[in-house]
Amino acid sequence: MSRPGRPRHRDALRPGSTAAEQILDAAGELFVTMGFTVTSTRSIAEAVGIRQASLYHHFPNKEAILEALLDATVVPSLEFARRVTRSVDDARAALWAVTAGDAANLLSVPWNLGRLYLLPEVDGIEGFHRRRRELHAVYRELAVEVVGGHDEFRCGLPVRLTETVIAQRVDDPGIAGDEVAPAIADAALRVLGIEVDDALRAAGRALLEQHLAPPT
């Protein structure tokens, strides 16, 4: 007769198809609403409905959980931006698509995780900063191509416009990404002096449909 497996502390209380996803959902809420320092791995485990020891099977420490949450705000957008820039010669359409896709991702991640950027503990997470710098570099390279020259200040505006959606979510938690993301993309081109017409939007939307991976 086989021995039964070790029982869960209680049924899982969070959304997610895996324990790791449930841990991230709980940690995201607690880090954003309570703060990183005061949130313990025990409180995260309790919010999920698992034992604290079980959490360590998925993440070695609280810092690893924070890095995974931060990556959710950057990695999908970076991978999408790479696919777009490899496939198109029209920098204007590419920048529109990259901006719209990035804004949509920031608007869709649970608990407005972009708010975590301001945590002092984030300073030491070099992997996240490296990936974020790479995403910002894609924006700048496209902007330089769009304006036909290097204007450090102006070429840095599109990505800053995109990240304003983090503050917009604070003011309006129910903000609709399918409306806001295209508006942000339009604004990103306009600050570079580009008139955005229906043809440009259509080209950008085509890139979104072609290269934006469906949410998992």
As separate numbers, helices (DSSP H) first and strands (DSSP E) second, the chain gives: 10, 0
Whose CA is closest to 105, among 13, 185, 48? 185
For 34-150, where are the alpha helices, taking DSSP H only? Answer: 41-48, 52-55, 62-87, 91-108, 126-147
pLDDT of residue 1: 36
Helix axes 198-211, 62-87, angle to 10 degrees: 120
pLDDT of residue 3: 38
Give the type of residue at 70.
Answer: L
Ordered by where they begin, the domains of the chain are 19-60 (1.10.10.60), 63-211 (1.10.357)
- CA–CA distance from 19 to each of 34, 44, 167 (Å)? 22, 12, 30
pLDDT tens digit string along 129-160? 999 999 999 999 999 999 998 888 999 999 99
Contact present, 189 and 82 (Cβ < 8 Å): no
pLDDT of residue 212: 79
How far is 208 from 97, CA to CA, in rounded Å?
6
pLDDT of residue 6: 41
Q: Which residues of the chain have pLDDT under 70?
A: 1-12, 213-216
pLDDT of residue 213: 61
pLDDT of residue 9: 46
pLDDT of residue 180: 95
Helix axes 177-190, 157-171, angle to 10 degrees: 150
pLDDT of residue 150: 80
**Residue 212, token pair as written in the block:** 């934006």
Contact present, 134 and 126 (Cβ < 8 Å): no
Contact present, 53 and 8 (Cβ < 8 Å): no
pLDDT of residue 203: 97
pTM of the model: 0.90
Q: Is the dihedral of CA 23, 24, 30, 36 positive or negative?
A: positive
pLDDT of residue 25: 96
pLDDT of residue 146: 96
